[in-house]
Chains A and B, each alone.
Chain A
Amino acid sequence: MLDYKYQDRDTVIHRLTPWSKLGWIASLVLLAVIFDHPVYLFLLFLSTIPVIAAARLTREWASLMKYCLFLCLAVVLINAIISQNGSHELVKAPFSIPLMGNLRITLEGIVCGVGNSLRLAAIISAFSVLILAIHPDDLMQGLIKMKLPYKSLLVASVSARFLPALLEDSRNIVAVQRSRGLEFSSGSKVQRTRNYMAIFIPLLSNSLERASQLAEVLESRGFGSKRRTFYKELKLTGSEIVVLISALLPGIFGIIIYSQGFGSYDYYPALEGIGFMGMEAICLIFLLFLATLVVFTALVKRRTEID
């Protein structure tokens, strides 16, 4: 089974500090949130692909995107049914539902669902770099250097690592209770809640047990002392600063053009045209260029390091 955790590959993207990667992800996620225009969102999604490819993560990414596709289909479907504000009616239900009237499926409802799916795909795709290409220990150290509290970060990172163990536990507990004749789908509501307690209580008490064991480990390895050092150094070298800036540029440029009124879009009551004026088209192409710029600066950085 493909699991979605850090994949150790020796690529230019993997060699970047966590800050550069975080900067790029933050830029793309920010833009995906502020822009509404489906073409913008689609281009944002496309611009994540060169980064994924440069990190040699296309296989894991493709498998993640398969799940994303199901999610998108659900978004389109739900949006088409729920949103009733469109003006171009495609289908109308012959019966009426209380409070909602006769359901109508409109062109606007579907297109709006597609637009939001693109937004979702762009965000998930950008986040896949966070999950797959940043070593969890590097991520933690990067965040510590950003003056976030160390102890809380350690707790967060350790809990993330316990997740597989928790899943394994819950699988086993479900197997145990099923072999004690438990059926999850039968019985009254009270009975069903009780059934879930048969899973939940052992899971909870096992996790508490794990937590207290871990606390003992931390205690006996001198955790919590004042002057702490770090085994691996994360440093912002000159070339790394260049990469970091190139990673932040798309975000900055995007905010500027957004403030000029670009990238907004209204689906309702009727779809707007998607033609671009000359200036907007140029800005959009430039934004696409900036969003993938990080791949080039990372390559250049690698070059300078070798020389």
Chain B
Amino acid sequence: MAKVIVVTSGKGGVGKTTTSASFATGLALRGKRTAVIDFDVGLRNLDLIMGCERRVVYDFVNVLNGEARLKQALIKDKNCDNLFILPASQTRDKEALTQEGVERILNELKETFDYIVCDSPAGIEKGALMALYFADEAIIVTNPEISSVRDSDRILGILSAKSHRAVNDAEPIKEHLVITRFSPTRAEMGEMLSVVDVTELLSIPLLGVIPESETVLSSSNAGIPVINDKDSSGGQAYVDVVSRFLGEEVPMRFLDVEKKGLLKRIFG
């Protein structure tokens, strides 16, 4: 049975799209047929992070409006055979995102894919609500920072009250916490909320911690999701996230200050 996973956060700029791109790529690399949908109508960016911006012909809204078939709009990933991207439209036609339309497209995707990853826009407006409405599982992306934690908590409230599962008294959405931009050094100094703090405050199971890593930006620059960079801590952390999501027991990494990292920091 295909699963719909929403990647959401409430707050903007915390790493939803980066996480969606790497998580979807990771699932595909593990042999799962995966589709990733950009729900940020009007501000599409997933195509840039995935490096397929020049191959966008039709988009999500075109399919919703019946101007293109789903197969025409899906873009096959350049590195992964099992991965397809459905880009958002650049027009501000948010009204096109109707519950019926989104449900129809998700059902059609469910016929061919194992996992459908929904990259939510920031905020709690229509795009964000539509991205989470039909979710079976949710990845909450949170920075160890006060406003991000509060907004994540707000989104958790919406997941448990306004999603399709909540409205229909079905089994609740399975929630996973992914902490991004974590700096072990700053957390150890007491400048940054620790992983334990954030996990306790939000009280949902921790799926992974992505350390602050320079390669995340360079991967975005290149349009290759950071999970492809096996040498970087960011890439390895996303590999772990995918493994844990698939039920494997993988110990948490990158939580403590590494001596190597420290020496590197001092001597450049």
Task: Indicate whether A and B interact.
Answer: no
Enumerate chain A interface residues (CB-CB to B < 8 A): none
Enumerate chain B interface residues (CB-CB to A < 8 A): none
